[in-house]
Amino acid sequence: NKKDYFEIAEENNAGDFSKVLDWTNDIMNREDQDMNYLKERIYKDTNPRFNQALKLWTERKPIFIYPDFKASELNASYSPVKDEKYGGVLLFNSYPDRYGRTVYTSLNKDVVSHETGHAMLDILRPDIYKEPRYQTQAIHESFGHLTCLFYHLSVVENRFKVLKETKGDLSVTSFLT
């Protein structure tokens, strides 16, 4: 029952970027499961704000991914677009490291899940992205961070790995921190 919520730019000789598409779709499909759980078990169509969020979620447009976006900034980003076909765009830059090898931000699960978190929040609350206050922008950033964290914790092996690394004490530094 998985859906594809993303379309990816085809790049000539840029390498295999199927991972970024798999990761973004996996994150959105997990969110779909959560939304359906909330709808069926908790809200049961009684909460108007949830119903509006669910409507925005289910009627969203696909998000376009550029896995090898050439830019001057060494970063990745999400931005909404005013386009009839797409609901947003994820740009993953590539850049040469100090040894001259190309580093692709789209091949880093942390970066992909963080930027996908921005896209998810923008679908549910598009007004937050446009808000100019620093506090509201900080909420957007923290949502990206939490999406990354929850994505890693949704993988069973990662939960065991963090428990092993920390000996059960989650206040100890691990790969998650």
pLDDT in tens, 100-143: 888 888 888 889 999 999 998 888 888 887 777 888 888 889 99
β-pairing, 6-8 vs 63-69, is parallel
pLDDT 10s digits, 61-91? 888 888 888 776 678 999 888 766 778 889 9
Q: Where are the beta strands (DSSP E) in 30-101?
A: 63-69, 76-79, 88-96
Do residues 88 and 63 lie in contact, with contact meaning Cβ atoms separated by under 8 Å?
A: yes
Nearest C-alpha neighbor of 18 from the set 29, 30, 9, 27: 9
96: three-class secondary structure by DSSP = strand
- pTM as predicted: 0.80
Burial class (CB in 10 A: 0-12, 13-18, 19+), 167: exposed
| Residues in the chain, overall count | 177
